[in-house]
Amino acid sequence: MELKTDVLVIGSGIAGLYAAIKMSEFADVILVTKKNKSDSNTNYAQGGIASVIDPNDSIEKHIDDTMIAGAGLCNAEAVRILVTEGPDRITELINIGTDFTQKNGKLDLVKEGGHSFSRIVHSKDLTGKEVERALIEKANSINNIVIIENTLAIDLITEHNISNLKDMPINNRHCWGAYVLDNNDNCVKKITSKVTILATGGLGQVYLHTTNPSIATGDGYAMAYRAGAQLANMEFIQFHPTALYQTIETRDSSSHAFLISEAVRGFGGILRNGAHEEFMHFYDSRKELAPRDIVARAIDTEMKKRGEDFLYLDITHKNKDEIIDHFPNIYNKCKEIGIDITKDLIPVVPAAHYACGGVLVNTNAKTSLSGLYAVGEVSMTGVHGANRLASNSLLEALVFTKRAADSVRVELSNFNTKIPSIPDWDDSGTLTADEKVIISHNVKELKQFMSDYVGIVRSNLRLNAASRRIHTLFVEVEDYYIKTKVFDSLIELRNLVTCSHLIVKSALLRKESRGLHFSLDYKDLGQMTLGENNVIQNTYQKS
């Protein structure tokens, strides 16, 4: 079955929804999303969105903070765009209906790690949920946006899917949409489009402990790689310093760790080791508010030194009513498991949180593959460098999605290429899966070795060990994939394996310690030595 549209958007987080809204101004849009509309990383964002709103703040300060956190690898042009265009995007979100927290009739601005000024716009500690609500309501009200839930994109379509064009060089190919598994009808459909917007979010599920919900299986990176688009800097996986530590007895069934927002440290929270002693002053003069790579590494070192599984975040010295007012979500979640954060220390541990690398794009979010744009976390605009500054992610999604929309508007107005005839999905000769244990076992194994070998502190020995295991898994999963009718967890495992390969390959290519890539084999180059991007491209074709 075939659906046709001008613009296909894949994903319904902040980037996908905002893309659909902006592009519906001049095109028909189909948006597919693999679960419910609100199932996204965006929905869990707590701290907020960084932007220069206060007249005493300055564009230059936000640029400097972003560049310092990025450890010499940020693209200066992209950072300037991010910071200068950010305030207008916040105004637009407010006009769309987002309700940000106010204080004395003005936006309440708070601070997080790495920021030299209080500039985070937020909605209590549930910012993402509020943004997602407003964007979904807006998108639902627009007639030429069709949203199809429970529909998982399997692969991007390019000439390599078309038998008489399959040898066309990668640089001449165009992305003509995607094959998707529609779980409402239980069949694979092709959606043909002139332009495709990849907005599939992150890949935290590669790791055992992550703040990312179950949708974050890195599908977009893997699809783009298989289609031949360039990716960059996949080694820079950000571990959030403070995810709630839960024992098996207190953990719920969700696949991710609950976040204790960096805004809690911005509010005065203090990190303490197992003996309840402060320690951040030993690691950085900015203490709890140093950039995340530094704080996460300090926590990792303290835990290893003392042989402990977690340490503590302490906010008990602050006013009880103010804590509850600022952090109702965190207060309630901790209360549920018997921790009163106004009186008790909060047990925390770092968890995989954000991918700074991704599908390489220019400042209009255009990838190296014609017809394909990437927006939000899946993209690599260059603004985060080797380590993302807190609350710059939602901002990046807004700023570069708007620029993508401006570029697509021009592209479509000049579009005169004939859309080739795309073959239907071919699953002849495949069987229905009867060995799903292969999936669950391999997912567990992958997450375990990625966490043990490709975590906060790395070494060539561990990376090479991970690489060998990934190869074995790759062969096994590809073999199973070729023989089996596709289903969600198989597609996701295949993508997790590809993402792990990309992370490890990039990590081995980087012969230095920089930002989030810290290797025992290389000296730390410090924050401001200039570095280079690691670009990877799949030059053979497999889909």
The residue assigned the tokens 């190869």 is 471
Smallest distance from the beta carbon of 496 to ligand FAD, in angstroms? 12
Nearer to ligand SIN, 292 or 501 (CB): 292
Nearer to ligand SIN, 46 or 442 (CB): 46
Q: Is 15 in the site for ligand SIN (CB under 6 A)?
A: no
DSSP string, 450-507: HHHHSSSEE-HHHHHHHHHHHHHHHHHHHHHHHHB---HHHHHHHHHHHHHHHHHHHH
Q: Is 371 in the site for ligand FAD (CB under 6 A)?
A: no
**Count of residues interacting with ligand SIN (CB under 6 A):** 8
Beta bridge partners of residue 180, listed in sequence order: 153, 189
502-531: contacts with ligand SIN (CB under 6 A)? none
Q: Which stretch binds ligand SIN (CB under 6 A): 5-13, 339-347, 388-396, 502-510?
A: 388-396
Strand pairing of 187-198 and 2-10?
Answer: parallel
Q: Is 40 in the site for ligand SIN (CB under 6 A)?
A: no
CB 122 within 8 A of CB 47: yes
Smallest distance from the beta carbon of 222 to ligand FAD, in angstroms? 9
Q: Which stretch binds ligand SIN (CB under 6 A): 33-41, 95-103, 257-265, 489-497?
A: 257-265
Partner that binds at residue 155, options ligand SIN, ligand FAD, none, CB closer than 5 to 8 Å by kind: none
Smallest distance from the beta carbon of 287 to ligand FAD, in angstroms? 21
- CA distances (Å), origin 152, targets 21, 148, 527: 21, 10, 39
Partner that binds at residue 218, options ligand SIN, ligand FAD, none, CB closer than 5 to 8 Å by kind: none
Q: Is 46 in the site for ligand SIN (CB under 6 A)?
A: yes
Q: Is 397 in the site for ligand FAD (CB under 6 A)?
A: yes
Biggest CA–CA distance in the chain, Å, is: 70
In the three-class reduction of DSSP (H, G, I as helix; E, B as strand; rest coil), residue 189 is classed as strand
* Tokens, residue 537: 């491209």
Partner that binds at residue 380, options ligand SIN, ligand FAD, none, CB closer than 5 to 8 Å by kind: none
- For residues 199 and 17, what is the distance between their CA atoms, to the nearest angstrom? 9
In the three-class reduction of DSSP (H, G, I as helix; E, B as strand; rest coil), residue 279 is classed as coil
Q: Which stretch binds ligand FAD (CB under 6 A): 275-283, 362-370, 371-379, 510-518?
A: 371-379
- For residues 360 and 211, what is the distance between their CA atoms, to the nearest angstrom? 24
Number of Cβ atoms within 10 Å of the Cβ of 394: 29
In the three-class reduction of DSSP (H, G, I as helix; E, B as strand; rest coil), residue 157 is classed as coil
- Per CB under 6 A, the list member of 199, 369, 405, 456 interacting with ligand FAD is 199
Q: Is 10 in the site for ligand FAD (CB under 6 A)?
A: yes
Cβ-closest position to ligand SIN? 47
CB 25 within 8 A of CB 214: no
The reply to whether 292 belongs to the active site is yes
Rg (CA), the chain: 22
Catalytic option among 292, 297, 403, 458: 292
CB 180 within 8 A of CB 31: no
Residues tagged active-site: 292
Q: Which residues bind ligand SIN (CB under 6 A)?
A: 46-47, 261-263, 390-391, 393
Q: Which residues bind ligand FAD (CB under 6 A)?
A: 10-16, 32-35, 39-42, 44-49, 127-128, 152-153, 199-202, 211-212, 215-216, 219, 259, 354, 376-378, 391-394, 397
